Amino acid sequence: MAEDNGMARSIFLSALMVTSVMTGLLFFGIEDEGVNGSPTIDSDVPDTMLVGEIETVNITISDEEMGGLSVLITLNGEQVMEPLDDNGVVTLDVSSLGVGSHALQVVATDSLGQDSTWTKVFSINYPDESGTIISLSVSDFTITKGGTAPISGQVLHDSVDTCSLRWSTADASESGLGLPIGEDGSFDLELSNIQDNTTLSLWSVCGVWTESSFLATTTITVIEAIEEGCTDPSASNYDEAAEEDDGSCEYDSEPEPAPGCTDPSASNYDEAAEEDDGSCEYDIEPVDNGTGSQSWWEGILLCDSTEQVEPVDDYNTTDSDNHLCQLSFEIGETEIVIDSNGIPNHDLESGPGCCTSEQTLEWRIPLVPNNQTGCDPSLSSDGCTMAPERDAVAFAVNGVPIFGPEDGPGGDAVAGHEGEYEEDRQHIWLGICHGHSGPGGAYHYHADANCAHWHPDEETNQTWRDYHIDSSRSLSEHSPIVGFALDGYPIYGFVGWDEEGVVSEMKSSYRLKEGETGYNGIDDYEYVVGLGDLDSCNGQFGPTPDYPEGIYHYHTTWENGEGGIGFPYFINCYRGEVSLDSQNGEGDDEVDCSGRGETWGPGIGPPPEGCEGGPPGQSSDISSAFGIVYRLVPPSGGMLAMMIIAVAFVRVLAFAPVSPSRAGITALYHQVRV
């Protein structure tokens, strides 16, 4: 009995020990360390790919016990026998797969029988390919019987080397003769001794991946030959059978040309007259409406007496300003003189330089610009007159000055406005159409200026706040002239004609230097030949709607050839001869009152001349208070000076106008130079 009790006690103690060990495993997480999950499967297979674009794809399988894995891979239902490498990666060759949809499945089973299934459906597509087009130089001919018809043209396609071309006087798409084409798709064909009216058809088929075709036709009309010869009975070689004079008439004595009025629009037009004798008379005197005429300038320049101008408002003020854009001009023998009051023909935002006011501006530009000798802007700006850095570089068609990109602190105001960098030296921002006012209320543009031709849609309740720069970048037609550089060459908007005459947005050839943001202004940019459409002055030579024979002209730019910001926005140098001294667009660097606390202020020194009462043409109670202090107490006045300044500042704040508008906010920035 005692032995049984001992045995029972031993069994009990053993069970207790086992229970304790198991409890310890549960509480201390020992058993968690041995958990064996199912395998994981990953892959770099994309959803779609182009044929021939990717040769191999990778499948990665991982598990706690890689040696016990069993893997089954099927591609489009067929088993793939590629093994796992040491890293659990299977590399599959997909280079032979054709266009269409494909299914890849992986089933991985571990040593415990746990399995994971991964399925991927992907597609292989042909690259995009243009359709075939045949462009003919002439769509129809009229020739004399027995004559020839020279036909030329070009086959247009992404891959011209895949194209074939046939021609026929019937239907070339059904049968015809082969016609060779050049590397650029060009071809020539000449039909001779044509006796009857003929329709020629040309059929081209092209395509690497997707075959496309195009049928072009040209009509050849045959007319009877006209007998040519001398048709003047008074000539010594008069030909009675001649139906058309060929200019071969000969005379014993050369006859004088018959004088008279040769202008068909004149009231006394003489059909028999061979030489105009100046006798033409008109019911209404003819008016020259061509480029450069009085009427042309009236149409190009805005705000003159020939059009109704609506008052505009400065959104930085609380009241309705009723500013009125006004402009007049006079055409001289060699130049045009334009007077304006500097007010734009659209609502505006003055910015920190509030508030815009009327100016007395005079612009003088040559009627016929002349290129500078030694200036080749297609290569660089060397030898060209550079545009002022902080002054008027041009003027808009509404008479408003156009400035370069730099602002008061020296940064690129446009780049700062667009978030390329944060201006921490002086409060700067641009308003509607990237313009604002500077010292003396002189309003000016730093970019764009295309809003001179934009008008709000009253039916949709638009206002000038709805103006957006993209509305001027439409590719539907060539932009109008938005201004003139001081050398006399026109400045067009963003859209022009490329070398093939296709409507296209013009891109600048400048870019930011590596690591730069525009914080240092013009110095942060470099010119790269061929980066965009325009040269180092931001211009090009070519035809425009106003000058179909071609003229050097500038464009406003918003992007460069890489899609970056389009410095210099208007111009960077002048292609034509220019006299900057004859212009009076007041500059940004007349008076710099921005250095209070750094270059002038209590304990440093008095403000620069012109800063005691704020910028010219403006008032600042705060700056006036400081001016009083400087006159009463020298900078070395110590504590007494500081007390007087404090009293004056509190007094100014007590009487400063309070307004939730930007005008109220910018009242504290009257000293800003922009």
Q: Does residue 303 have a cis peptide bond before it, meaning omega lies within 30 degrees of 0?
A: no
CA distance 414 to 569: 9
Angstrom distances, CA of residue 348 to CA of 14, 150, 500: 94, 60, 38
Q: What is the pLDDT of residues 356-412, one digit of tens each?
A: 999 999 999 999 999 999 999 999 999 999 999 888 999 999 999 999 999 888 999
Least confident of 285-299, 314-328, 592-606, 656-670: 656-670
Helix axes 621-632, 638-655, angle to 10 degrees: 160
Of 315, 406, 320, 271, residue with least CA distance to 666: 315
Report residue 408 as tokens. Answer: 């008061």
Reported as a pLDDT band with limits 50, 70 and 90, residue 12 is low
Reported as a pLDDT band with limits 50, 70 and 90, residue 452 is very high
Q: Does residue 366 have a cis peptide bond before it, meaning omega lies within 30 degrees of 0?
A: no
pLDDT of residue 484: 98
Q: What is the pLDDT of residues 271-291, one digit of tens each?
A: 999 888 988 988 876 666 688
CB 157 within 8 A of CB 206: yes
Q: How high does pLDDT run on average in the chain?
A: 82
pLDDT of residue 128: 85
Least confident of 146-155, 431-440, 575-584: 575-584
pLDDT at residue 13 greater than cutoff 60:
no
pLDDT at residue 144 greater than cutoff 60:
yes
Reported as a pLDDT band with limits 50, 70 and 90, residue 658 is very low
Least confident of 203-212, 482-491, 645-654: 645-654
CB 593 within 8 A of CB 611: yes
Three-state secondary structure along 475-537? CCCCCCEEEEECCCCEEECCEEECCCCCEEECCECEEECCCCCCCCHHHHEEECCCCCCCCCC
Q: What is the pLDDT of residues 487-505, one digit of tens each?
A: 999 999 999 999 888 999 9
* Helices and strands per DSSP (H, E), number in the chain: 6, 37
pLDDT of residue 601: 41
pLDDT of residue 18: 55
Neighbouring-strand partners of residue 57: 92
Q: What is the pLDDT of residues 339-358, one digit of tens each?
A: 999 999 999 999 887 899 99
pLDDT at residue 525 greater than cutoff 60:
yes
CA distance 382 to 635: 47
Report residue 365 as tokens. Answer: 């530009």
Rg of the chain over all Cα atoms, to the nearest angstrom: 41
pLDDT of residue 593: 52
What string of DSSP letters covers 27-65?
HHTTGGGG--PPPEEEE---SEEETTT--EEEEEEE-S-
Least confident of 91-105, 223-237, 619-633: 619-633
pLDDT at residue 40 greater than cutoff 90:
yes
Q: What is the pLDDT of residues 85-128, one digit of tens each?
A: 989 899 999 998 988 999 999 999 988 889 999 999 999 998 88
CA distance 508 to 569: 8
pLDDT at residue 321 greater than cutoff 50:
yes
pLDDT of residue 404: 94
pLDDT at residue 563 greater than cutoff 70:
yes
Reported as a pLDDT band with limits 50, 70 and 90, residue 430 is very high
Considering 235-239, 270-274, 512-516, 595-599, the range whose residues carry the highest mean pLDDT is: 512-516
Q: What is the pLDDT of residues 51-87, one digit of tens each?
A: 888 999 999 999 988 888 899 999 999 999 888 898 9
Reported as a pLDDT band with limits 50, 70 and 90, residue 222 is confident
pLDDT at residue 583 greater than cutoff 90:
no
Q: Regarding beta strands 70-75 and 100-109, do their DSSP bridges make them parallel or antiparallel, or are they unpaired?
A: antiparallel
pLDDT of residue 133: 94
CA distance 288 to 166: 51
Residue that is written with structure tokens 């769509």 in the block: 139
Task: State pTM to two decimals.
Answer: 0.50
pLDDT of residue 482: 97
Reported as a pLDDT band with limits 50, 70 and 90, residue 174 is confident
Least confident of 183-192, 280-289, 609-618: 609-618
pLDDT of residue 9: 63
Q: For residue 3, report the phi and psi dihedrals to the nearest 5 degrees.
A: -65, -35
Question: If you average pLDDT over residues 450-475, what whole number do you get?
Answer: 88
Considering 167-176, 240-249, 556-565, 646-655, the range whose residues carry the highest mean pLDDT is: 556-565
pLDDT of residue 14: 60
